């Protein structure tokens, strides 16, 4: 089953949105297979956001993502990578639709609440950066038969 990496950023943790965000993915019908509250080091931040190293906002991005704890998660489900991006909403909250997480809770691109992998390759890479295989749990739930 497809997996993706989702992470409540420091602003989402500070604004008490972990429960709200977990609830949205649960309610959708996806399954949580791993989660932890953690502090990102500058080294991990640099790896995670490596594709943005040359961008003018890179320094601010690393400072922000290391400014407090994040809630890192792995979610599983049919088409979960692309569908999660729809639930997360556009990168810039000025453009994210109401009903999406960023559309409902964020105002500015520098504090946009949540990260979600953007492709199958990113999902594998990011899950590997944040989680060891033994931290992820494979299990079945009867409710999944009413989703898929
Ligand atoms: P996303 O998080 O939607 O995948 P991204 O990968 O393009 O977006 O950028 C990663 C993060 O970098 C994004 O969530 C917020 C920050 N960011 C992106 N563009 C920015 C900009 N123009 N100014 C400041 N921060 C930006
Ligand atoms: Mg991205």
Q: Is 61 in the pocket of ligand 1 (CB under 6 A)?
A: yes
Sign of the CA dihedral running 135, 141, 145, 146: negative
Instruction: Summarize pLDDT for 110-133 with one digit per residue, the tens.
Output: 999 999 999 999 999 999 999 999
Q: Is 111 in the pocket of ligand 1 (CB under 6 A)?
A: no
Question: Counting atoms of ligand 1 from 1, which one is nearest the CA of 91?
Answer: 3
Going through the chain in order, the beta strands assigned E by DSSP cover 3-8, 31-38, 70-76, 114-116
Q: Identify any residues that bridge with 75 across adjacent strands, giving them in sequence order.
A: 4, 32
Q: For residue 92, what is the DSSP state? A: S
Instruction: Summarize pLDDT for 16-65 with one digit per residue, the tens.
Output: 999 999 999 999 999 999 999 999 999 999 999 999 999 999 999 999 99
For ligand 1, atom 1: residue with the closest CA: 91
Cα of 58 to ligand 2 centre, how many Å? 12
pTM beyond 0.90: the answer is: yes
- Cα 139 from Cα 129, distance rounded (Å): 22
Interface TM-score (ipTM) > 0.95: yes
- Give the number of C-alpha atoms closer than 13 A to the C-alpha of residue 1, restricted to the C-beta side: 16
């Amino acid at each position: 089953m497809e997996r993706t990496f989702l992470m409540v950023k420091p602003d989402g943790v500070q604004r008490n949105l972990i429960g709200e965000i977990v609830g949205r993915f649960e309610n959708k019908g996806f399954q949580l297979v791993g989660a932890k509250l953690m502090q990102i080091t500058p080294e991990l931040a640099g790896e995670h956001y490596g594709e943005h190293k040359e961008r003018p906002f890179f320094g601010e991005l690393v400072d922000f993502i290391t400014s407090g704890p994040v809630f890192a998660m792995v979610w599983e489900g049919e088409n979960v990578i692309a569908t999660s991006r729809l639930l997360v909403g556009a990168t810039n909250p000025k453009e994210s639709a109401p009903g999406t997480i960023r559309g409902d809770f964020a105002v500015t691109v520098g504090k946009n609440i949540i990260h979600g992998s953007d492709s199958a390759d990113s999902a594998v890479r990011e899950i590997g950066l944040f989680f060891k295989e033994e931290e992820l749990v494979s299990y079945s739930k009867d409710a999944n038969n009413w989703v898929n």
